[in-house]
Structure 1
Amino acid sequence: MGCGLASRQASNAAKIRPRDFVETQEGLIFSVVTHHQEEGRALGVLRYVKKGACWRKVNTPQADSLLETHYPYYLYDSPRLDARLHGVPVTRVVRHYQSQLRLAEILTPSSGDEIEEKVRGLVQLFEAGGLYSQNLGITGSLLIGVQQVGSDIDLVVYGQKNFQQARRIIKQALTKGQLDPLDETLWRETYKRRGCSLDFQEYLWHERRKYNKAVWEGTKFDIVLVSRPEEIKGDSRYFHKQGKRKLQAQIKDGSEAFAYPARYRLVHAEIDTVVAFSHTYVGQAETGEWVEVVGQLERASDGELRIVVGSSREALGEYIKVIPLP
């Protein structure tokens, strides 16, 4: 639980971007997950609930239960995705916490906060590698000012090219000893929070090669991609669930592996695409690799088939993993 000092005024819908937070009049803060809005709603996940003057973080089951019991109007049955989501009508947003603006505030030192000082040093490391702060943002607890001594740093990187550059910087900095890799304790904590359907060694193998997390001055940090609007391929089709499906196939195109949702084009006679809404399976496979996938088969309104991994945040019973060539 934390008592944040940061505040933002409500802003218009067009400015709400993924990894920004929106606050409602009831004292609920949602993390936005997509540029796309449906029926005037920003789609996201409930992350913080106000208790007195402080904010309490909630996990996905807690968030679902709270909304179902007390705030059902923030549950949205998407006709396009054939799924129940958290959706905030933009007319009910009373504060908009903008990732990019919050980072700019942190980079102008105004407090002796230990974690904010580490953010400034970390951003300097990225800038030394040619990735400048105007292409970065901050999310998570730092976005609303409720970070604590043990908090992680969640950096947002805007744009596909910038994100790949950030991964290269992390890889090089690990090689040079400027950053530390996660130790087994941190990896196991991350694995436990994810609650994924891979065993620990499988999870670890996939994660270590992504170069989207490391340790800076004793604090774990992650980077997450927010694609620019011009990089997003619009898809207005409607999808209908067909039941669970397991398959093995080769990745034809993994260029959108780190986007949200992650998208993997397949070499397969029936199914064109795997879409991953769970962050665990972002960046999971590369072009040319073979994967085993378990997820929900969906049929688009034009007849195309896809498999969705992450019908819930934890994606229990669903996964993507790289396998040896058959």
Structure 2
Amino acid sequence: MARNYFLDRDIIVDKLNNVYTVLTNYNPPGYIFAYLKYVYTGSGLWKGYNRVLKQYGIHNLVKLKQKFNFESCYDASFPILYLSEIRTHLKPEEKLSHLLKHSASDDLIYYLIDFIENYVRVSNLGVTGSLLLGNYHKNSDIDLVIYGCKNSLDFIESFKGFEIDKEWIIEANNNYNIDFADKLYDNKRRGIYKGKRISILFVDDKPWKYCERVCRKLGRVRFKGLISGDCKALFYPAVATVQSSNEYQISTIINYEGVFSSALLGDREVIVEGMLMKCEEENVVIVGDREVRGYIKPMQ
């Protein structure tokens, strides 16, 4: 039975033919959290779509000309799309099923199928990005989605990794104004496969509860600590626990900047800068806030 709820990495086409990507597994009644990625112009490299979000990152997302709504539970503004504006809801798992049943004569789809047959031994898979929308071209990236906690961890533990994508490291340093993208790069999540760029994305296969608790901002913080992350560190937003004590008594890191997510998986020492939040009885630091972009830097 097809799911009727929204998950991270789903793609939405509105009634004006503009294209949005869902960015969380929790969504309010009447609208969803989603960012505008393409507008339809009828011409261009992406089969009539013009990409408006050319680089990822909160600092780029907040510049988009779309609706943002202040969410009092999170004390922050999110990009939104009303349910009444939706024309089509595209689901990664349904698109991949369709692609696998048809000819692999298309080069990009051939590489996708070849990689899956050789390296991915899980059933809960999907494909997102331009392959899901259908506006891909010969130089498009392949964005593969793995659903569920166990499947995600099994892949991370068993896959030996892609050929290193050195351009990603350069692009990340430039886009996020950092000098340690090499410490963040994980060739199990992205890299080169037979000349094609592939990204592996991880999504919880269950919806999350919206507004589960109320948070408020306290201000910028920076601390060094030992953190630990399980499969929740693979999903978006990525979550890890702080193991060592610190002067702010922070217990959890929630990261909205995908570039830093690999630093949260497992046990490691990191330097973190972000927005300190009081979420009822817990102190949380948010990385990727509009006011304090922040970062997560591995010590090794």
Q: Where on the TM-score scale, by shorter chain, does this alignment land: which range?
A: 0.7 to 0.9
Please list, as runs of the form range in 1=range in 2, the aligned pairs for 1:131-210 lying within 5 A after superposition: 131-132=122-123, 135-171=124-160, 174=161, 179-182=162-165, 184-192=166-174, 195-199=175-179, 202-208=180-186
Is the 8 Å Cα contact of residues 252 and 283 (structure 2) preserved in structure 1? yes
Matched, 1:295 2:274: yes
Aligned-residue offset at 1:278: 0.8
Instruction: Pick one of 193, 199, 220 that aligns with 2:197.
Output: 220
Aligned CA distance change for structure 1 residues 309 and 102 (closer, same or farther; 3 Å): same
**What's the CA shift for 1:261?**
1.1
**Residue of structure 2 equivalent to 1:77:** 70
Displacement of 1:47 after TM fit?
A: 0.8
How far the C-alpha of 1:112 sits from its partner, in A, is: 3.2
Aligned to 1:37: 27
What TM-score, normalized by structure 2, do the two folds share?
Answer: 0.86
Contact conserved, 2:127 with 2:143, CA < 8 A, in 1? yes
1:27 partner amino acid:
N
Aligned equivalents of 1:228, 1:62: Cα separation in 2: 27
> For structure 1, which segment, 42-51 or 53-62, has the greater mean C-alpha deviation from structure 2 after superposition?
53-62
Alignment match of 1:259 (pick from 215, 229, 235):
235
Equivalent in the alignment of 1:9: none
Q: Is 1:170–1:214's contact at 8 Å kept on the other side of the alignment? A: no
Quote the offset at 1:64 in angstroms. 4.6
Displacement, 1:255?
4.7
Post-superposition offset of 1:161: 1.3
State the SS of the aligned residue for 2:167: helix
Q: How far 1:120 moved relative to its partner?
A: 1.3
How big is the shift at 1:286?
4.2
Query: C-alpha distance in 2, partners of 1:52/1:30?
Result: 17
Aligned residues: 288
Is structure 2 residue 285 aligned with structure 1 residue 307?
A: yes
The answer to whether the aligner puts 1:321 opposite 2:297 as a matched pair is yes
TM-score normalised to structure 1 length: 0.80
8 Å Cα contact 2:222/2:272 also seen in 1: yes
Match of 1:229 among 206, 209, 219: 206
* Alpha-carbon distance in structure 2 between the residues aligned to 1:288 and 1:185: 27
Larger relative contact order (CA 8 Å, sep ≥ 6): 2
CA contact (8 A) 2:170 2:181 kept: no
Letter of the structure 1 residue corresponding to residue 171 of structure 2: E
Q: After the TM superposition, which parts of structure 1 deviate over 4 Å for at least 4 consecutive aligned residues?
A: 60-66, 232-235, 252-255
Runs (5+) with no aligned partner, structure 2: none
**Conserved in 2, the CA contact under 8 Å of 1:43 and 1:88?**
yes
Could you tell me which residue of structure 1 aligns to residue 7 of structure 2?
Answer: 17
Tell me, what secondary structure is at the counterpart of 1:119? Answer: helix
Amino acid paired to 2:262: G
1:95 aligns with 2:73: no
Q: Does the Cα contact within 8 Å between 2:274 and 2:294 map onto a contact in 1? A: yes
Q: 1:118 to 1:316 in 2, by over 3 A?
A: farther
Which consecutive residues of structure 1, in runs of 5 or more, have no partner in the other structure?
1-11
Q: Does 1:119 align with 2:112?
A: yes
Tell me, yes or no, if the aligned pair for 2:227 and 2:264 is still in contact at 8 Å: yes
CA RMSD of aligned residues (A): 2.6
**Residues 1:282 and 2:261 are matched in the alignment:** yes
Do the aligned residues in 2 keep the contact of 1:255 with 1:287 (CA within 8 Å)?
A: no
Question: Is the partner of 1:38 in helix, strand or coil?
Answer: coil
**Which whole-Å CA distance do the structure 2 matches of 1:310 and 1:157 have between them?**
24
Structure 1 residues 316 and 90: CA distance shift in structure 2, 3 A: same
Residues 197 and 64 of structure 1: CA distance in aligned 2, closer, same or farther (over 3 Å):
closer
What amino acid is the match of 2:147? Y
How far 1:99 sits from its partner (Å)?
0.7
Supply the AA of the counterpart residue of 1:258.
L
Label 1:260 to 1:64 Cα distance change in 2 as closer, same or farther (>3 A).
closer
Identity %: 22
